[in-house]
Structure 1
Amino acid sequence: MKLLKFIPVLGLFALTACSSIQVSTDYDSSVNFSQFKTYAFMKSGIDDSPISDLDKKRILKAVEAELSAKGYTKSDNPQLLVNIFTESQQNVNVNTYYGGWGYRPWGWNPWMYGPGYSSVSVNTEGILYIDILKADNKELIWQGKGSGYLTSNKNKKDEKIKEFAQKILSELPQ
């Protein structure tokens, strides 16, 4: 019976462990975020982002959808400015399997046989920063950072960018 109570908890941990995006945020705790209702994108900062215009549009659309869901409206006279920037890095993973009979660094293992092999995989880790600044003095009041693996598949890229924006902005105080 105790095992049956434990299974849902185990399932919850399995679901949260599957998240491929790691998020961290920081903000000015003296700011009352509930006073802000309008925003605009900071064009000068976004234009400097070293990604394609198509990816910029995807990110801005995803950020706009999340902010709208939180009750913010886009305005020509905003209270907040939203800026994004990105980073990426290539990760090379090498996995080696030692087969064959005989002694290994960890000791004798007569059940292993055959030659060893290595596999190499390369993937791209992307980092998306979302900054929120007060529009009147351009003071940074909140920053969210999401990092995870990227894809070049167009359909999956849209989903991944939406997931980045959703997970990062879910940490925005209300």
Structure 2
Amino acid sequence: MRFLKIFFLSVLFVACSTARIDYDRGADFSAYKTFSFYPEMNSGLNQLDEKRIIAQTEALLRSRGFVRSDNPDMYINIFTRQYETPYNSSVGIGIGSGGRRGGFGISGGIPIRSNSTTQEITFDLIDAQKDDLFWQGVYEAKIGNNSSPEAREQMYRKVVQKVFGKYPPGRK
């Protein structure tokens, strides 16, 4: 039962999401073999979520043969932005009256759902020698505020997989 709960929460996290990338067409992506996280990173996440997303990013990159280094080829900078998205759906209630010479009506709307929270997570890959951005991945998803630590870890795993699934450009 707990597995199903975590599964459905993680589906909720990523069901309404998109991943966008941008990159420097002149960059030689094969030159980047080592990485580290930007020393002055200000992710906008709490410490627990920042540790989760860093661990997931590092695990994925290591699985692809990248090595974490004190003297890296590239830095990874992660930052987030969170905002409320208004829900525009409502149920209308109306009363009306009319006759030959006029009419009158009253109407009102009752919201079906409350606003939702959207989190935008940006991954910048920066050439360590040139201090130049060469790749960016952005992921946007509606999130739940009362999720368990397991569900949050699962969400960040999916975020990293979706964004870095498009790195390097042209990767199948």
| Bin for the TM-score computed over the shorter chain | 0.7 to 0.9
CA-CA distance at 1:91 after TM superposition: 1.6
Contact 1:21–1:164 at 8 Å: present in 2 too?
no
RMSD: 2.2
What CA distance in whole angstroms lies between the structure 2 residues aligned with 1:117 and 1:31? 52
- Aligned counterpart for 1:79 among listed residues 73, 83, 93: 73
- For the pair 1:148 / 2:141, whether they are aligned, the reply is yes
- Aligned counterpart for 2:23 among listed residues 23, 27, 36: 27
The one-letter amino acid of 1:122's match is: N
Q: Which runs of 5+ in 1 are unaligned?
A: 1-17, 104-114
Contact 1:92–1:120 at 8 Å: present in 2 too?
no
What TM-score, normalized to structure 1?
Answer: 0.74
What CA distance in whole angstroms lies between the structure 1 residues aligned with 2:26 and 2:120? 27
What CA distance in whole angstroms lies between the structure 2 residues aligned with 1:136 and 1:100? 66
Matched residue pairs, number?
Answer: 144
Q: Secondary structure at the match of 2:129?
A: coil
Task: List structure 1 segments (4+ residues) > 3 angstroms apart after TM superposition.
Answer: 98-103, 115-118
- Aligned counterpart for 1:68 among listed residues 59, 62, 66: 62
What CA distance in whole angstroms lies between the structure 2 residues aligned with 1:90 and 1:149? 9
Q: Which runs of 5+ in 2 are unaligned?
A: 1-13, 98-107
Question: Structure 2 vs 1, CA of residues 19 and 118 (structure 1 numbering), >3 Å: closer, same or farther?
Answer: closer
Higher RCO (Cα < 8 Å, 6 or more apart): 2
- Aligned counterpart for 1:49 among listed residues 39, 43, 48: 43
Contact 1:131–1:144 at 8 Å: present in 2 too?
yes
